[in-house]
Amino acid sequence: MIHVGIGYDVHPLVAGRPLILGGVQIPHNKGLDGHSDADVLMHAICDAVLGAIGEGDIGQFFPNTDPRWRGAPSKIFLEEAARQVGFHQAKIVNIDASLIAEQPKLMPHAQAMKMNIAHALGINPARVGIKATTNEHLGFIGRGEGIAAMAVASVDLHE
């Protein structure tokens, strides 16, 4: 039976940090602030995968109060989500995600993001969809104060 999970993450943009999305360092004058590498795309996907198998969110597995995860690459979080899928004797069917950012242009990096995400989850890159849009200059994203990501994951879970 196919189960679906949804994930969302948002982080503020700050000076002095690299911008990492989908495991790709993207040239920009600001990066995302957070305990780990603050990769909103991988975080949203992680929550979607965990939700599809009925588990908690990324914070339950990797609390931001734990110093082990300070500056950690979010690839670790996706690898753990994939392990959890395996523990449930399930299989990730596909991932679909959207990034919401006013700047910089993200689609030139989408293929590299897709490859990183697929590798971390142990799935075919053709099963990962990455899209990007702006917030049409509205709200904190539109003012360039942050970046958000939304994701859905479908998982074949035998009950």
Burial class (CB in 10 A: 0-12, 13-18, 19+), 8: middle
Mean pLDDT of 4-31: 98
CATH of the domain at 79: 3.30.1330.50
Sign of torsion, CA 64 128 153 94? negative
Where is 78: in which H helix or E strand? helix 75-87
Mean pLDDT of 34-40: 94
Average pLDDT, the chain: 95
**Rounded alpha-carbon distances, angstroms, from residue 131 to 1, 99, 124:** 27, 6, 17
pLDDT digits (tens, 9 = 90+) for 83-98: 999 999 999 999 999 9
pTM, entire model: 0.96
User: What is the number of domains present in the chain?
Assistant: 1
Q: What is the pLDDT of residue 29?
A: 97
Domain that holds residue 108: 2-157
pLDDT digits (tens, 9 = 90+) for 101-141: 999 999 999 999 999 999 999 999 999 999 999 999 999 99
14 band by pLDDT with thresholds 50, 70 and 90: very high
Name the percent of the chain lying above pLDDT 70.
100
Q: What is the pLDDT of residue 61?
A: 82
- Give me 84's structure tokens: 């959890």
Q: What is the pLDDT of residue 45?
A: 98
- Quickly count: other Cβ atoms within 10 Å of residue 151's Cβ: 29
66 band by pLDDT with thresholds 50, 70 and 90: confident
